[in-house]
Amino acid sequence: MIAHPKLSVLKSSMEILQHFTETKNPTSHFISLEGIEACGKSTHITGLKDYFLKKGFAVTIVREPGGTIFGEQLRQAILSSQFPIPPIAEAYLFASSRAQLLAEKILPLLSQDRQIVICDRFIDSSISYQGVARNLGVATILDIHKYPPLNVLPHFTFYVKINLETSFRRQELRNSKKDYFEAEKVDFYKKIIEGYEQAAQLFPQRIKTIDGEQEVSLVFGQIIKHLQHINWPHKL
Ligand SMILES: Nc1ncnc2c1ncn2[C@@H]1O[C@H](COP(=O)(O)OP(=O)(O)OP(=O)(O)O)[C@@H](O)[C@H]1O
Ligand SMILES: [Mg+2]
């Protein structure tokens, strides 16, 4: 019998998952927001910042690609590219930005007490964009992340799920100039959504899927509900 493709992805990825580790300071937490363009990542990151500041945490927001001087240079190079970048080069460019961000900012912060680091996109963007949409394979992306400092996963990830029509409608309202990825075709976006589904299957504990079609306050309410159900190692 031919194995279901998703099952084979899950199986080949299991061994690689053992290489991932979590940060050690139990009072500090690493959260990422994921989803296609205009799903609401930036909107909810602002809400989360207020939420955790009120709880007495120091909050740092970083974005990918970027977040460091070197990373922002890479961001500029990738997103303004007028020429197709080979998928494997794209994967390593994002991984380079991520490694720099982890080494320079995220890991030092998370070693301190009561820090919240919120990252606008992280490894799941690479799984869906380069792994699935660019056909490199999820296992290839996980493999690149075997090596320190890349082998650190967020404690929690909120995947804000919207459909393509909603994404395009909001982008039109925003009327912003299209960058390298936003100019991609509909089929590519469908694959990205498929990629996020695969990531959510692969990491069911970490990735919480949020219905991003509802109005902002209701979407944010879902995120807060998840946070309230987490068994925190300290008083929140
Ligand atoms: N639930 C929602 N309902 C209606 N509009 C929304 C909702 N969430 C976000 N928006 C609007 O959609 C637009 C995109 O939201 P936002 O910038 O937060 O998305 P994003 O995921 O950060 O996008 P990008 O990937 O391009 O950075 C904004 O104008 C925002 O006000
Ligand atoms: Mg944004």
**Domain locations along the chain:** 5-225
- Going by C-alpha positions, the residue among 144, 161, 151 that lies closest to residue 200 is 161
Question: pTM score, two decimals?
Answer: 0.92
Atom from ligand 1 closest to the CA of residue 173: 29
- Identify the residue with better confidence: 10 or 44: 44
Contact 71 CB / ligand 1 (< 6 Å): no
Listed in sequence order, the DSSP H helices in the chain are 5-17, 41-54, 69-79, 87-101, 107-110, 123-126, 138-144, 164-174, 186-202, 216-229
**DSSP structural state of residue 26:** T
Atom from ligand 1 closest to the CA of residue 45: 18
One-letter amino acid at 198 equals Q
Report pLDDT digits (tens) over 154-212: 999 999 999 999 999 998 898 766 777 777 788 999 999 999 999 999 999 999 999 99
Q: Which residues pair with 124 in a beta bridge?
A: none
Report pLDDT digits (tens) over 48-86: 999 999 999 999 999 998 999 999 999 999 989 999 999
Contact 39 CB / ligand 1 (< 6 Å): yes
In angstroms, what is the span from residue 171 Cα to ligand 1's centroid? 8
Report pLDDT digits (tens) over 109-128: 999 999 999 999 999 999 99
Atom from ligand 1 closest to the CA of residue 182: 26
Q: Looking at residue 5, what is its pLDDT?
A: 54
pLDDT at 219 over 70: yes
Burial zone of 166 (CB within 10 Å; 0-12 exposed, 13-18 middle, 19+ buried): middle
Q: Looking at residue 1, what is its pLDDT?
A: 45
List the shell of residues around ion ligand 2, using CB closer than 5 Å. 41-42
Domain with residues 5-225, CATH architecture: 3-Layer(aba) Sandwich (3.40)
Q: What pLDDT band is residue 2 in, cutting at 50, 70 and 90? A: very low
In angstroms, what is the span from residue 176 Cα to ligand 2's centroid? 12
* DSSP-derived secondary structure for 162-227: --HHHHHHHHHHHTPPP-TTTTS-HHHHHHHHHHHHHHHHH-TTTEEEEETTS-HHHHHHHHHHHH
Quick one: how far is CA 8 from the chain centroid?
Answer: 23
